[in-house]
Structure 1
């Protein structure tokens, strides 16, 4: 391969197709002297005349005929590869995306995304990798083990881009026949109850603690579970209370046994962010999948803050 560059192979392919130096030059946008120089280099490198002047134009040697088809096929493969990385056609694509999804995001995001992808890109497959916390999300993205993640906001780094995909409102749940279930739920009643707390690292802290801390309030944590999905069943069969995302309680098997009450303080919804590595920001296939996710949540989408304004307009 020493001394061979792609332009020489393009010139060879054009000469073989046109059998004329001038016409071959026009075919690839090069002058007649440039094409003649390319042919001279090819003859030296391949140790063959390749094309001989004849009454009907240039005539290929046996060596040129041997090379013609493989070179043409190779150039076609290169052209298709470069076109794929420039323009992504989902209807013709055959590839797999790997998504990092937190537990709740998996149950919420995957059904919508599968519905969209199966209609628009029947040859595209999705692989899901679970992760536990924000640091895990960054680690997976840095390592290239996933194409993008959906979950709680990852730690801010210049290399990870994020956009809010959807958000979940929080509610307090009690069993329906609990004396406090008629509501409204005041601070005194809330603090007097035993609490089920969903804490991934079992430290007894959940999504409500920042609001409680702002008032200096403390509560009794009776049960700590690693996943919010366990709370509805525990509450439905006890006198305990839990603060969970509304969709978790509403989608549980215990939903009809629960009362839904407002938290006694203003409480921001839980944001779920779509995050991806900066190195994948401009990749056409990944841009397409991010647009699919955006389309699944059109009323919540907030564009990435770390993307320049001009790129934001181009990509989103």
Structure 2
């Protein structure tokens, strides 16, 4: 009875540098020249050849009148190992560069409501002009710390919104700032005289609260003065507010970009709030594990360039 024995080599014990040395020896047929080719000393190359002989159980190269001569085993290995090393080289080089113009990559982007309206149209235009093969997947989030959960889980590559709670694993980059304005419909009685605090408190207010709270930035500022406004309407969708204000006697305090991006700006009057309200910062956020990836870095820079950042 004849038994065929197939020896399977354990790849975990192979030093990739030995394969590089083998490839150089095949090309140069000289230990010294092969060492020069890959930046090794002659003793180091001799040691590599010795290890290769033990690993492959073959002399591999024997001395001849014109230098080292490969054995049949070495000739059998030469072409496949050379192709394998070239493929590894191409793979490593690919990870160090990213050509957006030829890429068919897919990026996942988490957006809160406002960036969906003000960032996404500009980003799509840029991609259409510079990287038409790239695909976007958009995920929406409401609470700012939802961004952390999405990034941690790998559900998105980037998020744009109010900066999440500080975390060492989540990196951020400022994009743009929004200031607050008050809006009323044109010809509203509130426009007949300057909007002072007393007049402001007399009006019926619309509050936008994505978290469905009945207490916003304006209410917090008023509370510090012992004051309270009349909330006639609370809704979670900020982009519904301009239409509702344009067709009612309500007043709303919104980010100016919401008004600019709406279709109802011409039907509205913009007024300066009678109280001090800090502007809102919107930032790009990503997980530290994606920080140095070339494609991810390009995508972040592409978005930041929309705002000169």
Q: TM-score, normalised by structure 1?
A: 0.86
Aligned-residue CA RMSD (Å): 2.2
2: CA distance, partners of 1:178 / 1:159: 49
Corresponding residue number in structure 1 for 2:293:
283
Secondary structure (helix, strand or coil) at the match of 1:100 reads strand
Corresponding residue number in structure 2 for 1:312:
none
Measure how far apart 1:103 and its partner are: 1.4
Pairing of 1:262-273 with structure 2 (within 5 A): 262-273=272-283
Give a deviation string over 1:54-95, Cα, whole Å, max 9, x none: 343333333333322332232223223333444444445442
Corresponding residue number in structure 1 for 2:20:
10
> Does the CA contact (< 8 Å) of 1:175 and 1:181 recur in 2?
no
Query: Which of 194, 197, 202 in structure 2 is aligned with 1:192?
Result: 202
Q: State yes or no: 1:31 paired with 2:36.
A: no
2: CA distance, partners of 1:162 / 1:185: 37
Q: State yes or no: 1:113 paired with 2:123.
A: yes
Any stretches of 5+ residues in structure 2 without a counterpart?
1-10
Measure how far apart 1:114 and its partner are: 2.9
> Does the CA contact (< 8 Å) of 2:205 and 2:250 recur in 1?
yes
Mean Cα displacement is larger for which, 71-80 or 119-128? 119-128
Corresponding residue number in structure 2 for 1:250:
260
Q: TM-score, normalised by structure 2?
A: 0.88
> Does the CA contact (< 8 Å) of 2:117 and 2:261 recur in 1?
no
Query: Which of 222, 245, 250 in structure 2 is aligned with 1:240?
Result: 250
Question: Which one has a bigger Cα radius of gyration?
Answer: 2
Residues 1:94 and 1:77: Cα distance change in structure 2 (over 3 Å): farther
Any stretches of 5+ residues in structure 1 without a counterpart?
302-316
Secondary structure (helix, strand or coil) at the match of 1:113 reads helix
Mean Cα displacement is larger for which, 85-94 or 99-108? 85-94
Pairing of 1:122-201 with structure 2 (within 5 A): 122-201=132-211
Residues 1:11 and 1:71: Cα distance change in structure 2 (over 3 Å): same
1: CA distance, partners of 2:104 / 2:80: 25
2: CA distance, partners of 1:68 / 1:94: 34
2: CA distance, partners of 1:256 / 1:91: 39
Measure how far apart 1:247 and its partner are: 2.2
Secondary structure (helix, strand or coil) at the match of 1:49 reads coil
1: CA distance, partners of 2:173 / 2:224: 27
Measure how far apart 1:206 and its partner are: 2.8
Q: State yes or no: 1:97 paired with 2:107.
A: yes
Residues 1:123 and 1:167: Cα distance change in structure 2 (over 3 Å): same
Q: State yes or no: 1:64 paired with 2:77.
A: no
